[in-house]
Structure 1
């Protein structure tokens, strides 16, 4: 497929889409693999499914395809440093979770404690996404942390959080 889209314009346009920030994890032969991902979204409520995109040349890509199981930690605004750490492609593989509080999910993947919510997934399908793979997961477990409600957001290569508006889906429905 050839394209005439200017790459800088394409990246700049995508940068204007604010997204939440996740860390996706798996474990292969006792070695944890993790990556920061903003290319994550829900796919289906019934059955519960999500997707994440992983660059084909990343260590995480091969690891998650090998295991077929993974965890997703939806980060809080306090997790900026953790997000930056797992986004650094040059970090060492060994002990990359040292100093990062986490617990293990049922499937063995690390779930970061500094998260709003956690999902555990089994790979349902993998699709070609150019230089990435689109990994669709069947959600096998989900949990939320009610005590914290400030998500970490990513917009134009910067971290941020939300400013709540008095208008919401619920208040608009109440007016109707």
Structure 2
């Protein structure tokens, strides 16, 4: 059974899902690769697994498949320029990190300093996802910054940040934890 979905409606529906913003990195043969990604999520706490989706035509795609290691920098609001930069196609590969504060993780991947947290992963599973590849990674390292707490968000092709409400998942239903 073939189902035809209006592409404009599909993109519009997905654009109404607010997400965090990450920069995903890998290193292959001494060359750093990166992409901005909102297609990131946790998969499992035990064992610790996360996933990312990479467009098959992105130059990051082949590099991360071959390297088998990747870092995820979960951006703080102050990482907005880095997010826009790594979403830009055609940026120079060799100098793309020159103006971006970063460090190397234990696996050798670049991790961005303007992040709330970061993960280092080894690819466990690769799944075909149409025009994307889904990579599920075992988390081999993780860290958080306690001095930043404002996430960079993405909604309907615009950046935003969080407005905290007094309610939480523990208080909404009957005030019970």
What is the TM-score when the length of structure 2 is the normalising length? 0.96
CA deviations 1:122-170 (Å, max 9, x no partner) are 0000000000000000000000001100000000000000100000123
Q: Which has the higher helix share?
A: 1
Cα RMSD after superposing both structures:
1.3
Q: Does the alignment pair 1:89 with 2:61?
A: no
- How many corresponding residue pairs? 176
Unmatched 5+ stretches in structure 2: none
Q: CA deviation at 1:73?
A: 0.1
Q: In structure 1, what is the equivalent of residue 170 of structure 2? A: 170
What is the TM-score when the length of structure 1 is the normalising length? 0.97
Q: Does the alignment pair 1:155 with 2:160?
A: no
Q: In structure 2, what is the equivalent of residue 104 of structure 1? A: 104
Change in Cα spacing, 1:98 to 1:46, as seen in structure 2 (3 Å) is same
Change in Cα spacing, 1:120 to 1:174, as seen in structure 2 (3 Å) is farther
Matches for 1:34-73 after TM superposition, within 5 Å: 34-73=34-73
Q: In structure 1, what is the equivalent of residue 78 of structure 2? A: 78
Q: In structure 2, what is the equivalent of residue 18 of structure 1? A: 18
Which whole-Å CA distance do the structure 1 matches of 2:155 and 2:118 have between them?
22
Give the 3-state SS of the residue equivalent to 1:80 in structure 2. Answer: helix
Q: Which runs of 4+ in 1 moved over 6 A?
A: none
Q: In structure 1, what is the equivalent of residue 4 of structure 2? A: 4
